[in-house]
Amino acid sequence: MPLSTRDANADDELTSEFEFAGRQFVVISYPRIPPSIAARLTSAEREVVEGVLDDLSDVEIAARRGTAARTVQNQLSSVYRKLGVASRGELSSRLRDGEPR
């Protein structure tokens, strides 16, 4: 049963507090896509990036989103261009570092 949920810093983390078996717990979660990068992407591009972070192929991302694999490839190309990266590996590193260009 959550005691409260509050935005500690809406751009960086969400903090939830709850009690279980008489003990109080705090959970801090951070976004997978840093806000400085997410702001530069469309919602569709963010969904594709989430799929990349889940290690899904273009076909798997397309199936998850209900689109064609070619659409995913186009959106991924747009993400690469916007973020100045050339591969999934570079994209993952960029997201981990959270540094905008």
**If you count them, how many residues does the chain have?**
101
E-state strands within the chain = 2-9, 13-20, 23-29
For residue range 45-78, list pLDDT tens digits in order.
999 999 999 999 999 999 999 999 999 999 999 9
Please give the C-alpha separations between residue 24 and each of 2, 7, 28, 30, in angstroms, as whole numbers.
Answer: 10, 18, 14, 20
Could you give the domains of the chain? 1-30 (no CATH), 35-97 (1.10.10.10)
Average pLDDT estimate for 8-31: 75
Is 19 within 8 Å of 26 (Cβ atoms)?
Answer: no
